[in-house]
Amino acid sequence: MSDTPLLETRALTLRAAGRLLVDGLAWRVHAGERWCVIGRNGAGKSLVLRALAGLNVPERTGDVLWQGRPQGDWPAGAAATLRALMPQQPQDRFALTVERVLALSEVATSGSSPSELLSALDIAALAGRRVDQLSGGERQRVALAQCAMQGAGLMLLDEPVSFQDPAHQQLVGRWLTQSAGDRAWIASAHDPSWIARVATHVLALSGDGGWQAGPVDAILSAPVLERTYGCAWRSVEGAWLPA
């Protein structure tokens, strides 16, 4: 049981509009691991996360297994306790409050109470506000809280800090570092310095089908970053800067 990965992909191949983005991804994610997915814009980061979550993606072959069983074999209700997805852009059409949205997102007991979660992510003051009237960064932290409220063993996070100011990037990073435990998360992100602080592993997508997965120290290197982003990188006292 403990050896069964939370998530496994076998020969997962994804295309979009005929373009090969991920070719034969063979990958395992275990409890306690904190993964970041890197890649340039349009390299397929969001697509990978959607496929891992079990949502429809246009062209896909290969298998995704949750706790050793193909994702298609899990009924929707059980799947909700296994994985949660934070989308890049929540689609708010109705004037729901933050409190209400969080209450609706609860599936399994997440271990942390809503009030703990709200203060940990600095959104306690927003509890009574309407989600469609929040700023981009505030809405993003609420989306993160929604994802955590689901209480799933694996959190899939599509760019959890893209709208965060520097202080909140640190806050979210610290919260993410503490929140894995017997769970795991996979987040798409861009800033190698931030990734170096919060992640244990990295999946790098080169955008032409190529990919590389491994511990953060092995992947966050000048050659891999250069191949991923198409520009040179240097490390200055633990921070990565584009040269």
Partner 1 sequence: MPARDPAVLRIALLALATALVAALALGLGAAGWDWQLVVTLRAPRVAAAAGVGSLLALAGLALQVLLRNPLADPYVLGHSTGASVGALAALLLGAQLWIGAASGALVAGLLLLWLARPALAAADDASPKLILLGTMLAAIFGAVATLMLALVPDERLRGAIFWMVGDLSGADASLWNLVAAAVFVAWLWARGRSVDRLMLGADAAWLLGEPVRRLRLELLVFASLAVGLAVSTAGSVGFVGLVVAQGWRLAGVLRTRELAVLAMLSGAALVMGADLLARIAVAPLELPVGAVMALIGAPCFIWFLARSVK
Task: Tell me the closest approach of the beta carbon of residue 18 to partner 1, in angstroms.
Answer: 19
Task: Tell me the closest approach of the beta carbon of residue 83 to partner 1, in angstroms.
Answer: 8
For partner 1, the closer CB: 134 or 195: 134
Task: Tell me the closest approach of the beta carbon of residue 165 to partner 1, in angstroms.
Answer: 24
Task: State the DSSP H helix or E strand holding residue 227, giving kind and residue range, or none if neither.
Answer: helix 222-229
Do 15 and 46 touch, CB atoms closer than 8 A?
no
Nearest CA among 173, 207, 184 for reference residue 38: 207
Task: Tell me the closest approach of the beta carbon of residue 63 to partner 1, in angstroms.
Answer: 19
Binding site for partner 1 (CB under 8 A): 53, 55, 76-81, 83-85, 87, 89-91, 93-97, 100-101, 104-105, 107, 132, 150
Nearest CA among 201, 184, 175 for reference residue 35: 201
Task: Tell me the closest approach of the beta carbon of residue 204 to partner 1, in angstroms.
Answer: 26
For partner 1, the closer CB: 12 or 53: 53
Sign of CA dihedral 166, 85, 183, 6: negative
Task: Tell me the closest approach of the beta carbon of residue 96 to partner 1, in angstroms.
Answer: 6
For partner 1, the closer CB: 77 or 238: 77
For partner 1, the closer CB: 1 or 76: 76
Pairing between β-strand 59-66 and β-strand 154-158 as defined by DSSP bridges: unpaired
- What span, in angstroms and rounded, lies between the C-alpha atoms of 8 and 151? 20
Task: Tell me the closest approach of the beta carbon of residue 193 to partner 1, in angstroms.
Answer: 30
For partner 1, the closer CB: 155 or 195: 155
For partner 1, the closer CB: 41 or 91: 91
- Looking at the chain, which runs of residues are DSSP E strands? 7-16, 19-29, 34-38, 59-66, 69-70, 83-86, 154-158, 184-188, 201-205, 211-215, 233-236, 239-242
For partner 1, the closer CB: 133 or 177: 133
3-state secondary structure string, 1-60?
CCCCCCEEEEEEEEEECCEEEEEEEEEEECCCCEEEEECCCCCCHHHHHHHHHCCCCCEE
Report which residue type is found at 51. Answer: A
